């Protein structure tokens, strides 16, 4: 049940010619150092001449890489199950252990112990599990619950209360452009989530610009351009640039064009890679140089399959870049959906979005009650 660690298929195949960036000149650390000392660029949509002008003005500065933009036709979507159905189906593995527990069985200490084990196995973590089972024990006595089904309903209520503080949808109306920086470990689903978010914000009538700030993984730029193409939005990228410089240009381009939302990708990194954590902190500082109030949101993308490890990631990324919101991907197919309860209890951060699949509509704002209803397969699915 816990061995599910499937690395899902990318939306586009890796290009055959993709090669890693030049290790001597383009390590994230040196990229960021270079970017921090880079002079401010004027807000201008003509990014290529701007880069050329910069290198002419200061011959000591390396020529800036060519910035490109990609636009493509609108996507065609096939009919699919509703979000509620996908969420419910996605949480089926996490629900698996819980489902067998209840029914007409009588409530007793054995049932509560079984429940405790099940919550731990679903990666709720020791603290949230203890909190939920203690509260449940109190309700059992106070409300004189008799059947296991009544206990399940009480658990669902307690869980909904526990998760409610995480429900804080991202409001991008406070700034224009609203700059969102996206971070996380390798393969967490950053680039894919950016693609989904682009569509989400567009559906709200907002214009979106994507910054291909993952300059470390060779295929990441093309992957983002594919997602940009699916959403018909501009992607700011550079042939051979550094993350901070790409995002810096994207912020200026967005301001010049009156764009509403900038979604800035960054390279995946592990919290234990201290030099890379320092590099991403510098990326954040460079964004603030382009726009003093930015980034307006720092989203940490977490793969639900990692379970309890998510807590360590929240802590480390928060210390490095000040995480303001979370995206929890791949809730489909994992038995570790209980990690949401652990986050609520141990590192409460707004859970802005949850992902339950690879489709472009498979990412939505987190809603505590909807999540709990799906987890316990109750309520009317919409």
Ligand X SMILES: Nc1nc2c(ncn2[C@@H]2O[C@H](COP(=O)(O)OP(=O)(O)OP(=O)(O)O)[C@@H](O)[C@H]2O)c(=O)[nH]1
CB of residue 295 vs ligand X: minimum separation in angstroms? 18
Closer residue to ligand X (CB): 20 or 59: 20
> In the complex, what is the shortest distance from the CB of residue 269 to ligand X, in angstroms, rounded to a whole number?
8
Rounded Cα gap, residues 335 and 119, in angstroms: 10
CA distances from 15 to 12, 47, 185, 267, 273 (A): 9, 26, 22, 18, 27
Which segment (32-40, 141-149, 185-193, 281-289) binds ligand X by CB under 6 A? 185-193
* Contact between 220 and ligand X per CB under 6 A: yes
Q: Is 309 in the site for ligand X (CB under 6 A)?
A: no
Using CB under 6 A, count the residues that bind ligand X: 25
Binding status of residue 191 toward ligand X by CB under 6 A: yes
Question: Which residue of 26, 358, 370, 373 would you call a contact of ligand X, by CB under 6 A?
Answer: 358
Among 44, 186, 202, 346, which residue sits at the site for ligand X (rule: CB under 6 A)?
Answer: 186
Q: Of 284 and 330, which has the nearer Cβ to ligand X?
A: 330
Q: Which residue has the tokens 């106070």?
A: 142
Q: Assess 213 for contact with ligand X (CB under 6 A).
A: no
Q: Which residues are annotated as a binding site?
A: 184-191, 265-269, 329-332
Do 76 and 239 meet the contact criterion of CB atoms below 8 Å apart? no
Stretch that binds ligand X, among 102-110, 142-150, 318-326, 355-363 (CB under 6 A): 355-363
Q: What is the DSSP string of 3-54?
A: -----PPPSSPPPTT--PPPTTT--HHHHHHHHHTSPPPP--S-HHHHHHHH
Question: Residue for token digits 């636009």?
Answer: 71
What part of residues 313-352 is at the interface with ligand X (CB under 6 A)?
Answer: 329-330, 332-333
The reply to whether 159 sits near ligand X by the rule CB under 6 A is: no
Say if strands 325-329 and 234-238 run parallel, antiparallel, or are unpaired.
Answer: unpaired
Q: How far is the CB of 42 from ligand X (least distance, A)?
A: 31
Residue whose Cβ sits closest to ligand X: 268
CA angle 364, 367, 368 (to 5 degrees): 145
Alpha carbon distance, N-terminus to C-terminus of the chain: 28
Residue 122 CA to chain centroid, in angstroms?
A: 21
Are 97 and 88 spatial neighbours (Cβ–Cβ below 8 Å)? Answer: no
What is d(CA 149, CA 136) in angstroms, rounded to the nearest whole number? Answer: 13
268 binds ligand X (CB under 6 A): yes
Q: Does 280 bind ligand X (CB under 6 A)?
A: no
Least distance to ligand X, CB of residue 217, Å: 5
Q: Which residues form the interface with ligand X (CB under 6 A)? A: 8-11, 184, 186-192, 214, 217, 220, 268, 329-330, 332-333, 355-358, 362
């Amino acid at each position: 049940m816990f061995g599910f660690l499937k690395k899902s298929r990318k939306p586009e195949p890796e290009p055959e010619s993709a090669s890693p960036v030049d290790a001597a000149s383009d390590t994230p650390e040196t990229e960021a150092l270079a970017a921090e000392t880079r002079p401010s660029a004027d807000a201008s949509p003509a990014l290529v001449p701007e880069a050329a002008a910069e290198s002419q003005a200061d011959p000591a500065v390396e020529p800036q890489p060519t910035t490109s933009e990609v636009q493509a036709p609108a996507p065609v979507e096939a009919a699919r199950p509703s979000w509620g159905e996908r969420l419910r189906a996605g949480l089926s593995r996490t629900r698996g252990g819980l489902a067998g527990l209840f029914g007409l069985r009588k409530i007793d200490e054995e049932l509560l112990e079984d429940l405790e084990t099940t919550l731990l196995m679903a990666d709720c973590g020791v603290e949230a599990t203890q909190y939920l089972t203690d509260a449940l024990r109190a309700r059992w006595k106070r409300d004189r619950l008799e059947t296991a089904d009544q206990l399940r309903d009480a658990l669902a209520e307690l869980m909904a209360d526990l998760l409610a503080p995480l429900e804080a949808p991202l409001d991008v109306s406070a700034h224009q452009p609203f700059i969102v920086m996206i971070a996380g470990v390798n393969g967490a689903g950053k680039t894919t989530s950016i693609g989904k978010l682009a569509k989400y914000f567009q559906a709200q009538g907002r214009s979106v610009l994507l910054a291909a700030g993952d300059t470390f993984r060779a295929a990441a730029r093309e992957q983002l351009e594919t997602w940009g193409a699916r959403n018909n939005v501009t992607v700011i990228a550079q042939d051979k640039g550094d993350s901070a410089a790409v995002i810096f240009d994207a912020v200026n381009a967005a301001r010049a064009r009156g764009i509403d939302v900038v979604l800035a990708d960054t390279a995946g990194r592990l919290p234990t890679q201290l030099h890379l954590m320092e590099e991403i902190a510098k990326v954040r500082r460079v964004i603030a140089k382009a726009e003093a109030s930015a980034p307006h949101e720092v989203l940490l993308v977490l793969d639900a399959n990692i379970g309890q490890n998510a807590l360590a990631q929240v802590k480390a990324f928060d210390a490095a870049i000040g995480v303001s919101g979370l995206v929890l991907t791949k809730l489909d197919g994992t038995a570790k959906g209980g990690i949401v309860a652990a986050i609520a209890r141990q590192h409460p951060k707004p859970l802005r979005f949850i992902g339950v699949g690879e489709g472009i509509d498979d990412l939505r704002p987190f809603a505590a009650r909807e999540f709990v209803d799906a987890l316990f397969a109750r309520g009317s699915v919409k």
